[in-house]
Amino acid sequence: MSTGTLTETSAFFAERAAHVDSPDGDVRPGLEFLGARDLLGLGAGSDGGPGLVAAAELIEAVAGECLSSAFALWAHRMVLEYLARGRSGPLTGELAARLRTGELTGSTAMATALRDVAGIEPVPVRAEPTATGLRLSGPIPWASNLFPGAVVVLPVRTGEGRAVVVVRVGDPGVTVAPARPLLALNGTASSSALLSDVDVLGAAVLSTDLAGFVAAFRPTFLVLQTAFCAGLAARSLDEAERGLARADAELADDVAEHRRSADALRARLRDLARDTRAEPATAYIRLRLAAARLAVAASRLESTVRGGAGYLATSGTSRRLREAAFLPIQAPTEGHLRWELRHSA
């Protein structure tokens, strides 16, 4: 990714971060900005390479300014990943084209798929066969980017089997609950949804092999999540370093140690993004776990160094503290990642 593109992107998101974080925030103008530059689908469907590295660098840069926007970008980009990997046809082709420009918003409701495949809990949405496809009923406990018309990808249970399907917010039977105030990420239209007898055509079924589908996209999923953790961590450490110049030299060693960890993590992220089949799944799990922890620790360190100025509710420091609190509870959660590592030992 060129330095010019990253600089332009950072400037765009920096200017809007406070508003996006506010109760009236909305991440869609950011997605449209990136869509107009054809940056939303970088590397989608590849097993790593320059496109995926560029996507990670873009998400990192956005996260350095605004985690809400970086998270929305990740979710949107993952929907393009699913469409690229699923069964192709005119329906999914048209949706992918409109997602790439930012005209439509993509919502990934796949947290329950990761838990199902890990053997923790079955997916909650049931699907019955119909003459033309599937009829879906059940809850989506959480998803982001649930804007009108959004393209939502979710797993469903077909008896003992599983499938991955596409629905649209606004389809008959899809009810999105009003979004409630959150600690952060308020501009991301994050909420729950209920599906009641939602009919989808066979063309909207991306896969009937959930385990295979998850195994194929998961390294990319984790790489791009790691990117927004790394972007937030790097920004917090930049701010901590700036703060040290004025005051708390006592914390200099801590900041330097976190910086070394952040640099190593970003190098590892690029390595793993170059070829997502080169290393076992545990490498991606370890990377994502380390990234979320580092971002939480870095945002706390930034706050400690910045003192009272950082405690002002309107400061970037306090926003990053709130944003970082999301990372251990985003699927796969810290508990889930640690559980997977223990069971794969």
Ligand X SMILES: Cc1cc2nc3c(=O)[nH]c(=O)nc-3n(C[C@H](O)[C@H](O)[C@H](O)COP(=O)(O)OP(=O)(O)OC[C@H]3O[C@@H](n4cnc5c(N)ncnc54)[C@H](O)[C@@H]3O)c2cc1C
Where on the chain is the footprint of ligand X (CB under 6 A)?
75, 108-111, 120, 141-144, 182, 185, 190, 329-331, 333-336, 339
Provide the phi-psi class of 49: left if phi over 0, else alpha when psi is between -120 and 50, else beta: left
CA-CA distance, 108 to 340, in Å (whole number)? 21
Two tokens, residue 94:
């048209």
- Position with the least CB separation from ligand X: 335
Cβ distance to ligand X smaller for residue 182 or 283: 182
Closer CB to ligand X, 31 or 109, in the complex:
109
Q: Shortest Cβ distance from residue 28 to ligand X (Å)?
A: 15
Q: Which is nearer to ligand X, 165 or 255 (CB)?
A: 165
* CA angle (66, 323, 31) in 5-degree steps: 35
Q: How far is the CB of 205 from ligand X (least distance, A)?
A: 19
Is residue 73 classed as helix, strand or coil in its secondary structure? helix
Specify whether the CB–CB gap between 13 and 66 falls below 8 A: yes
* CA–CA separation, 101 and 36 (whole Å): 6
Beta strands 151-158 and 161-168, pairing class:
antiparallel
Residue with smaller CB distance to ligand X, 140 or 237: 140
CB of 169 vs ligand X, minimal distance in Å: 13
Residue among 222 and 244 whose Cβ is closer to ligand X? 222
Contact (CB, 8 A) for 152 and 169: yes
Q: Which is nearer to ligand X, 208 or 333 (CB)?
A: 333
Least separation in angstroms between CB 230 and ligand X:
18
CB closer to ligand X, 14 vs 179 = 179
Smallest distance, Å, CB 317 to ligand X?
A: 21
CB of residue 305 to ligand X, shortest distance in Å: 27
Please state the closest distance from residue 109 (CB atom) to ligand X, in A.
Answer: 5
**For residues 217 and 86, what is the distance between their CA atoms, to the nearest angstrom?**
10
The phi, psi pair for 126, rounded to 5°, reads -95, 150
Helices then strands, each counted (H, E), the chain: 12, 8
Helix (H), strand (E) at residue 140: strand 133-143
CA–CA distance, 37 with 14 (Å, rounded to integer): 18
